[in-house]
Amino acid sequence: MAERLIYLPLGGAGEIGMNAYVYGYGQPGRERLILVDLGVSFGDMDGSPGIDLIMPDLTWLEGNRDRLDAIFITHGHEDHLGALGHLYGRLNVPIYARQFTGALVRLKLEDQGHSPSVVNIVGPRPEVTQVGPFTVQFVPVSHSIPESAALIIDTPAGRVVHTGDFKLDGTPVVGDPFDPIAWHHIAEEGKGIKILACDSTNIFSPNPGRSEAMLANPILDWVMAQKNMVVATTFASNIARLKTLSEAAIAGGRKVCLLGRAMRKMVAVGLETGVLTDFPDTIGPEEAASLPRHQVMLLATGSQGERRAASAQLSRGRYLGLQLKEGDSFLFSSKTIPGNERSVGRIMNALSEMGVEVYDADDGLYHVSGHANRPDIEALHELLKPQIVIPMHGEHLHLREHVMLARAKGIAAEIATNGTVLDLTGDVPRIVDQVETGRLYLDGTVLIGAMDGVVRDRIRMALNGHALVSVIVDEYDNVLPDAWVELMGLPGRTRRGEDLGAHIEGELSEFLEGAAARVVRDDAKMDEAIRRITRQVAMEEIGKKPEVTVIISRLMGE
């Protein structure tokens, strides 16, 4: 059978988050495989209450683990490496990454008790990693974290470029600039680029992207204009931004205090791996609290409104001895990710109530995106001249728009959402299979399936409340005429002002007194009848049908 090149996203295609892309080469069903990135998304109250992390369900990959040769990590963002610690044990193959990224991967693995020695640090192109039929090179691209890399994946069927996350930034402040000349050469080598698997995040942003370096002056001006304590928040991994903010602070006669574990970790890893040089000395929170307010800048985690991060803590009052006051200034050097508006708004309003001046980046002065905008994506298409474009890193809307953009320029393109297997061997991509995919939820210390029903039950309890009914059946199969009812998350009173639980108990007792023996002996029948009565009574009294859990205690003879 002829060999083929396949592409299979397990996460990140049809959503923004939890990236995981499989490439394969070989005879159908026997392709050797590599995995690019293994990231997480974050839970939210709306769709996944109580869940901390969401990650791709790797069942398909686990079933084909003998064919998997390696994992490549493009960069250090959580949505590209966050699941490694939790899922590595299911894959157990070598991991390849550049130095800074690799250091973050090692921390993730160690966190979950894996050996960091499985991580191979590789240099940028021209260094090559040979894995099965794949020859892989890491090509530096600019992004909002140092050392982001696109991958060149050379296969017998041709060259694939997997962009990872990128923007066209010639002056990214920290890390590698985007190098169009180098990419021009990459596109000209051999038969050129067959496949471009391309970041689609900002396909709807109509204007060319702006450079990280453009922020230095506005941020400096802003710091200089502030009279009291200054706080800035941004993604901890945006080390270039941390540098720009810190340098503005120093220029303004301030000392910098890093607040939040992620902030300190990122700066430490940046310094250790050498991607960050000459970062200003920082001070601890005690020293920051002791200095005059106009001599301090706090750099705080939590730009997305995360409840436990430093920004949220500061907005709630004293944090590590620090307390914001009337006349202090707080800068969100960040964009609020859709869905986080309420959480961020809550913090901004709490700060406003303290009299703190709140500044956001809506006017574009204090934040630039890390992703290529529509004209940048078009420029990349033109620079790389791929035969086929496969959009990734986007919701369905983004992938669709990106496909239309490519096709309008005469480039073959196809939407492939999670689970879609594309055969990329021919001149146009062909959908050849659809494999089962899904999501895993990290709940406490347990990984559960998104469709297991655990989260569905939580959402139902949150929407409908929960009524618990206990009834007792004695050793002779006689049901006791009492029912015990407890309500949680439900109004406690009937329309006439009686206790709702007691009222339901009364209605259930009536039923139990008359219940036929064949019902009493049958758990399922009892459960159904009790549930129906409870829901019906609640509906009459409070206009709402709660979730009902029935416990039937069957007593054994002594």
Q: Using the rule CB under 8 A, which residue among 59, 228, 369, 464 binds a copy of itself?
A: 464
128 lies in the site for a copy of itself, by CB under 8 A: no
204 lies in the site for a copy of itself, by CB under 8 A: yes
Q: Is the CB of 182 or the CB of 480 nearer to a copy of itself? A: 480
Find residue 160's DSSP bridge partners: 153, 195
Smallest gap, in angstroms, from Cβ of residue 491 to a copy of itself? 5
353 lies in the site for a copy of itself, by CB under 8 A: yes
497 lies in the site for a copy of itself, by CB under 8 A: no
The SS3 call for residue 68 is strand
Q: Using the rule CB under 8 A, which residue among 342, 407, 409, 521 binds a copy of itself?
A: 342
317 lies in the site for a copy of itself, by CB under 8 A: no
CA dist., res. 228 & res. 283, Å (int): 17
Name residue, tokens 């655990």.
454
The SS3 call for residue 399 is helix
527 lies in the site for a copy of itself, by CB under 8 A: no
Pairing of strands 420-423, 430-434: antiparallel
Contact between 364 and 171 (Cβ < 8 Å): no
Smallest gap, in angstroms, from Cβ of residue 126 to a copy of itself? 40
486 lies in the site for a copy of itself, by CB under 8 A: yes
Q: Using the rule CB under 8 A, which residue among 225, 431, 463, 517 binds a copy of itself?
A: 463
Question: What b/e string do you get for 9-45 counting C-beta neighbours within 10 Å, with b at 16 or more?
Answer: bbbbbbbbbbbbbbbbbbeeeebbbbbbbbbbbbbee
488 lies in the site for a copy of itself, by CB under 8 A: yes
557 lies in the site for a copy of itself, by CB under 8 A: no
547 lies in the site for a copy of itself, by CB under 8 A: yes
Contact between 18 and 11 (Cβ < 8 Å): yes
326 lies in the site for a copy of itself, by CB under 8 A: no
Smallest gap, in angstroms, from Cβ of residue 156 to a copy of itself? 34
Closest of 33, 384, 34 to residue 198, by C-alpha:
384
Q: Is the CB of 221 or the CB of 382 nearer to a copy of itself? A: 221
How far is it between the farthest Cα atoms of the chain? Answer: 87
Q: Is the CB of 11 or the CB of 102 nearer to a copy of itself? A: 11
195 lies in the site for a copy of itself, by CB under 8 A: no
Smallest gap, in angstroms, from Cβ of residue 306 to a copy of itself? 14
DSSP, res 178 = P
509 lies in the site for a copy of itself, by CB under 8 A: no
> Segment contacting a copy of itself (CB under 8 A): 73-81, 172-180, 464-472, 518-526?
464-472
Contact between 14 and 417 (Cβ < 8 Å): yes
> Segment contacting a copy of itself (CB under 8 A): 174-182, 220-228, 342-350, 418-426?
342-350
325 lies in the site for a copy of itself, by CB under 8 A: no
Pairing of strands 32-36, 13-14: unpaired
482 lies in the site for a copy of itself, by CB under 8 A: yes
CA dist., res. 69 & res. 55, Å (int): 21
Q: Using the rule CB under 8 A, which residue among 67, 255, 458, 525 binds a copy of itself?
A: 458
Q: What is the footprint of a copy of itself within residues 387-416 (CB under 8 A)?
A: 395-397, 400
491 lies in the site for a copy of itself, by CB under 8 A: yes
477 lies in the site for a copy of itself, by CB under 8 A: no
CA dist., res. 537 & res. 542, Å (int): 8
CA dist., res. 155 & res. 5, Å (int): 8
Enter the tokens of residue 321. 């001895």
465 lies in the site for a copy of itself, by CB under 8 A: yes
341 lies in the site for a copy of itself, by CB under 8 A: yes
454 lies in the site for a copy of itself, by CB under 8 A: yes
3-state helix, strand, coil in the chain (%, to 5): 35, 25, 40
Angle at 257 between CA 252 and CA 259, to 5 degrees: 135
Smallest gap, in angstroms, from Cβ of residue 394 to a copy of itself? 10
364 lies in the site for a copy of itself, by CB under 8 A: no
Integer angstrom CA distances of residue 138 from 23, 24, 180: 16, 18, 15
Enter the tokens of residue 281. 């000395």
- The number of beta carbons lying within 10 Å of the beta carbon of residue 498 is 13
- The number of beta carbons lying within 10 Å of the beta carbon of residue 479 is 21
> Segment contacting a copy of itself (CB under 8 A): 286-294, 313-321, 325-333, 478-486?
478-486
Name residue, tokens 């694939």.
160
Q: Is the CB of 154 or the CB of 306 nearer to a copy of itself? A: 306
Strands (E), 202-325: 230-233, 255-259, 282-283, 296-300
Q: Is the CB of 369 or the CB of 549 nearer to a copy of itself? A: 549
Closest of 310, 268, 306, 266 to residue 288, by C-alpha:
310
445 lies in the site for a copy of itself, by CB under 8 A: yes
Q: What is the separation, in whole angstroms, between the first and last Cα of the chain?
A: 70
List residues near a copy of itself by CB under 8 A: 14, 44-47, 49-50, 204, 206, 338-339, 341-343, 345, 348-349, 352-353, 358, 362-363, 395-397, 400, 443-446, 448, 452, 454-455, 457-459, 461-466, 468, 470, 472, 480, 482, 484, 486, 488-493, 539, 542-544, 547, 549, 551-553, 555
